[in-house]
């Protein structure tokens, strides 16, 4: 059986918690994640079979580093699912001087992946919306455009392309780890809304497949997946190793966290 950590898994309507329940039902050990104590208590009530709930904000560099340290005290995981993400809500500048969305969607997965004990498998949550971004990395941190140029939609699409770039970069740099990315589809969560056309169960199938890592498709590092365990093809720029390395360099310089 596998031991799995899932970020952003405290929301009762969220895909992370849904996947956690299915993994626990199959006999796996799952550590949930919540951003504060209240959310942690809610997660425990919603998923009583979880091993524990790790508490920590992903909205700042310092707090994400602290969460990584606390997680390392729990030991090593077979799989880490970088599930947490923001979409709407505006610029919301953090103490690091960048939008909260950038901290949570891009910098936090990079920091946790670099600082946590290295797992066998890492899954980065992406979206088909990554296709709407052109892959230009000149202003990943929105320091040039600032709040005046902010767009929830554009920032989210870019971050989802960045998640695929991170998955492929780690897959290439760490041959001993299977790093993949996942588009969960348009599902009726708080983020997806009630008009969504796909099901949470179909998305959870892929979460579970990648977390377990037993199926042949899940054993190929660098892959990109959709609901119902479908192998898919992301935007071609995500295969560009120079672009992958550029994003790693941006994350490393800004966070002060070096790629092991």
Give me the DSSP letters along 40-62: HHHHHHH-TTSSEEEE---SSHH
- Structural domain containing residue 105: 3-255
Weakest-pLDDT range from 12-16, 38-42, 43-47, 109-113: 12-16
Weakest-pLDDT range from 103-107, 171-175, 192-196: 192-196
Count of domains for the chain: 1
pTM over 0.85: yes
Domain membership flag for residue 246: yes
Q: Is the pLDDT of residue 244 over 80?
A: yes
Domain membership flag for residue 260: no
Active-site positions read 156, 160
Give me the DSSP letters along 73-109: HT---SEEEE-----SS---B-TTSSBHHHIIIIIHH
What is the CATH classification number for the domain harbouring 30?
3.40.50.720
Q: What pLDDT score does 197 carry?
A: 53
Q: What pLDDT score does 188 carry?
A: 59
Q: What pLDDT score does 194 carry?
A: 54
Domain membership flag for residue 101: yes
Q: Is the pLDDT of residue 190 over 60?
A: no
Domain membership flag for residue 110: yes
Q: In 10 A of CB 242, how many CB atoms?
A: 6
- 256 Cβ contact partners less than 8 Å away, ≥ 6 residues apart: 61
Q: What pLDDT score does 11 carry?
A: 75
- 207 Cβ contact partners less than 8 Å away, ≥ 6 residues apart: 15, 18, 19, 22, 23, 81, 123, 182, 184
Domain membership flag for residue 112: yes
Q: Is the pLDDT of residue 196 over 90?
A: no
The arithmetic mean of pLDDT across residues 181-191, rounded, is 75
Instruction: Write out the H or E segment, with its range, that includes residue 226.
Output: strand 224-226
**Contact status, residue 167 vs residue 222, Cβ threshold 8 Å:** yes
Domain membership flag for residue 125: yes
- Reported as a single tens digit per residue, the pLDDT across 11-34 is 755 789 999 999 999 999 999 999
- Reported as a single tens digit per residue, the pLDDT across 55-70 is 999 999 999 999 999 9
Q: Is the pLDDT of residue 199 over 80?
A: no
Q: What pLDDT score does 201 carry?
A: 82
Q: Is the pLDDT of residue 192 over 60?
A: no
- Reported as a single tens digit per residue, the pLDDT across 168-184 is 999 999 999 999 999 99
Q: What is the dihedral of CA 167, 126, 156, 103, to 10 degrees?
A: -50
Domain membership flag for residue 211: yes
Q: What pLDDT score does 185 carry?
A: 87
């Amino acid at each position: 059986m596998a031991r799995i950590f899932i970020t952003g898994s405290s929301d009762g309507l969220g895909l992370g918690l849904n996947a956690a329940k299915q993994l626990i039902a199959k006999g796996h050990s799952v550590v949930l994640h919540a951003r504060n104590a209240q959310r942690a208590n809610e997660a425990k009530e919603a998923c009583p079979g979880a091993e524990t709930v790790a508490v920590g904000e992903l909205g700042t560099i310092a707090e994400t580093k602290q969460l990584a340290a606390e997680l390392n005290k729990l030991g090593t995981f077979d799989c880490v699912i970088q599930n947490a993400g923001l979409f709407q809500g505006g610029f919301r500048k953090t103490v690091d001087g960048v939008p909260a969305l950038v901290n949570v969607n891009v910098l936090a997965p990079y920091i946790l992946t670099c600082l946590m004990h290295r797992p066998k498998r890492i899954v980065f949550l992406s979206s088909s919306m990554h296709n709407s971004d052109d892959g230009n990395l000149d202003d990943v941190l929105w320091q040039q455009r600032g709040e005046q140029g902010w767009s929830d939609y554009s920032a989210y699409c870019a971050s989802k392309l960045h998640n695929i770039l991170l998955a492929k970069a780690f897959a290439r740099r760490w041959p001993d780890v299977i790093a993949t990315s996942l588009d969960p589809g348009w599902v009726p969560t708080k983020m997806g809304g009630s008009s969504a056309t796909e099901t949470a169960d179909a998305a959870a199938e892929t979460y579970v497949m990648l977390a377990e890592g037993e199926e042949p498709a899940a054993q190929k590092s660098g892959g990109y997946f959709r609901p119902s365990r479908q192998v898919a093809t992301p935007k071609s720029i995500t295969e560009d190793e120079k672009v992958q390395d550029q994003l790693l360099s941006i994350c490393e310089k800004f966070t002060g966290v070096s790629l092991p």
